[in-house]
């Protein structure tokens, strides 16, 4: 009789803490530059918030955390990846490289940095989605070709997911950019987030 009275208590104690509660949504961290940081935009209009909203519209539960630093290059991202991307991250979107291009950093150096970032994340068992970029070859020739090839090459070499053209549909449209002609405005960010959400959902 005593054992029977204790049995429900034993079962209760054996259940893991919070077993009755739903598991927390997976964490997506954006490791990026000024676009991730939301330069010139409100927090609600910035990419982290807009990506989380776009995922929710697709029925995907996820929390999106921004780890963006304005002006950051792949070298800067590599220097901070270990502490900027927290251990609770399920998927890291690497949105870096545009400032390397603007500073004319050799594509091979950018490639090494980008590949090292991906490798650091993989060692920590964090999934990776590389946000690629393209620049017009007619204006930058061989440099542009090398730059454009870098993102898919790294993704393929490391076996990680790729968003092939992060700024597609925004880069050439002034109406989707801020006054500086470089950074997307709120409407541009919404377009980026809507497209990126499909790649993030698949990578999760």
Name which of 191, 198, 193, 190 is nearest 59 in CA terms.
Answer: 198
Catalytic residue, from 34, 72, 84, 100: name it: 34
Is 73 exposed, middle or buried, given 0-12, 13-18 or 19+ CB atoms closer than 10 A? buried
- Write out the chain's pLDDT in tens, 204 residues: 444 444 444 444 454 554 446 789 999 999 999 999 999 999 999 999 999 999 999 999 999 999 999 999 999 999 999 999 999 999 999 999 999 999 999 999 999 999 999 999 999 999 999 999 887 766 668 898 999 999 999 999 999 999 999 999 998 899 999 999 999 999 999 999 999 999 999 999
23-203 falls under which CATH superfamily? SGNH hydrolase (3.40.50.1110)
Q: Report the chain's C-alpha Rg in angstroms.
A: 20
Residue 34 annotated to the active site: yes
Residue 125 annotated to the active site: no
Cα dihedral 120, 123, 126, 132 in deg (nearest 10): 40
The pLDDT, as a whole number, for residue 135 is 78
Catalytic residue, from 33, 84, 100, 183: name it: 183
Euclidean distance between CA atoms 153 and 106, whole angstroms: 16
Residue 183 annotated to the active site: yes
Longest dimension (CA), the chain: 85
Predicted TM-score (pTM) of this structure: 0.87
Where are the chain's structural domains? 23-203
């Amino acid at each position: 009789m005593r054992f029977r009275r204790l049995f429900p208590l034993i079962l209760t104690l054996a259940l893991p803490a919070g077993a009755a509660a739903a598991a927390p949504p997976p964490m997506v961290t954006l490791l990026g530059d000024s676009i991730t940081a939301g330069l010139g935009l409100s927090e609600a209009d910035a990419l982290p918030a807009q990506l989380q909203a776009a995922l929710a519209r697709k029925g995907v539960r996820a929390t999106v955390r921004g780890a963006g630093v304005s002006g950051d290059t792949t070298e800067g991202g590599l220097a901070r990846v270990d502490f900027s991307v927290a251990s609770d991250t399920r998927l890291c979107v690497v949105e870096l490289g545009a400032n390397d291009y603007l500073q004319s950093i050799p594509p091979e150096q950018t490639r090494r940095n980008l590949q090292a970032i991906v490798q650091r994340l993989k060692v920590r068992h964090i999934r990776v989605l590389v946000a690629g970029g393209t620049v017009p070859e007619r204006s930058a020739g061989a440099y542009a070709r090398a730059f454009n090839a870098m993102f898919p090459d790294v993704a393929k070499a490391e076996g990680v997911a790729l968003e092939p053209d992060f700024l597609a549909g925004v880069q050439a449209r002034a109406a989707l950019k801020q006054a500086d002609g470089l950074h997307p405005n709120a409407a541009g960010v919404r377009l980026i987030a809507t497209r990126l959400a499909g790649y993030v959902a698949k990578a999760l």
